Amino acid sequence: MALDPGETRPQNEGMTEKFTGSFTQQEPIPDDAIAAAVDVLRHGRLHRYNVAPTELSETALLEQEFAAQTGAKYCLAVASGGYALATALRAIGVQPGDPVLTNAFTLAPVPGAIASVGARPVFVGVNEALTIDLDDLAAKLGQARVLMLSHMRGHLCDMDRLMQMCDAAGVTVIEDCAHTMGAAWRGQKSGRQGAVGCYSCQTYKHVNSGEGGLLVTDDAELAARATILSGSYMLYERHLAAPAPEVFERVKYTTPNVSGRMDNLRAAILRPQLRDLERQVARWNERYREIEAGLAGTPGLRTVERPAEETYVGSSIQFLLLDWSPEDIAEVIRRCAARGVELKWFGGAEPSGFTSRYDSWRYVEAERMPDSDRILAGILDMRVPLTFSLDDCRLIARIIRAEVGAVYQS
Interface ranges with ligand PLP (CB under 6 A): 80-82, 106-107, 109-110, 150, 152, 176, 178-179, 200, 202, 213
* Of residues 106 and 172, the one with the C-beta less far from ligand PLP: 106
* Of residues 81 and 385, the one with the C-beta less far from ligand PLP: 81
* Of residues 80 and 285, the one with the C-beta less far from ligand PLP: 80
CB of 113 to ligand PLP, least distance (A): 8
* Of residues 178 and 183, the one with the C-beta less far from ligand PLP: 178
CB of 155 to ligand PLP, least distance (A): 11
Q: Tell me whether strands 172-176 and 146-150 are parallel, antiparallel or unpaired.
A: parallel
CB of 249 to ligand PLP, least distance (A): 31
Q: Residues 33, 272: contact at Cβ < 8 Å? A: yes
Q: Select the residue whose beta carbon is closest to ligand PLP and give its number.
A: 81
Q: Give the span between the Cα atoms of 135 and 19, in whole angstroms.
A: 41
3 state SS for 192-243:
CCCCEEEEECCCCCCCCCCCCEEEEECCHHHHHHHHHHCCCCCCHHHCCCCC
Q: Residues 166, 193: contact at Cβ < 8 Å? A: no
* Of residues 14 and 109, the one with the C-beta less far from ligand PLP: 109
CB of 162 to ligand PLP, least distance (A): 17
**CB neighbour list of residue 295: distance below 8 Å, 6 or more residues apart:** 301, 303, 319, 397, 400, 401
Tell me the residue ranges of DSSP E strands in 93-171: 99-103, 120-124, 146-150
**CB neighbour list of residue 159: distance below 8 Å, 6 or more residues apart:** 185, 186, 193, 309
* Of residues 298 and 355, the one with the C-beta less far from ligand PLP: 355
* Of residues 200 and 355, the one with the C-beta less far from ligand PLP: 200
CB of 336 to ligand PLP, least distance (A): 22
What amino acid occupies position 98? Answer: D
User: b vs e for 374-407, b when ≥16 Cβ sit within 10 Å of the residue's Cβ?
Assistant: ebbbbbbbbbbbeebeeebbbbbbbbbbbbbbeb
* Of residues 111 and 243, the one with the C-beta less far from ligand PLP: 111
- Helix 277-295 crosses helix 390-409 at what angle (to 10 degrees)? 30
Q: How far apart are the first and last CA of the chain?
A: 27
CA-to-CA separations, 36 to 199, 275, 360, in angstroms, rounded: 22, 14, 41
* Of residues 81 and 272, the one with the C-beta less far from ligand PLP: 81
CB of 148 to ligand PLP, least distance (A): 9
* Of residues 263 and 392, the one with the C-beta less far from ligand PLP: 263
User: b vs e for 59-94, b when ≥16 Cβ sit within 10 Å of the residue's Cβ?
Assistant: bbbbbbbbbebbebebbbbbbbbbbbbbbbbbbbeb
Q: Residues 173, 166: contact at Cβ < 8 Å? A: yes
Q: Give the span between the Cα atoms of 366 and 370, in whole angstroms.
A: 12
CB of 390 to ligand PLP, least distance (A): 25
CB of 154 to ligand PLP, least distance (A): 10
* Of residues 106 and 217, the one with the C-beta less far from ligand PLP: 106
- The burial of 13, by beta-carbon neighbours within 10 Å (0-12 exposed, 13-18 middle, 19 or more buried), is given as exposed
CB of 49 to ligand PLP, least distance (A): 22
CB of 15 to ligand PLP, least distance (A): 34
Q: Residues 25, 342: contact at Cβ < 8 Å? A: no
CB of 109 to ligand PLP, least distance (A): 4
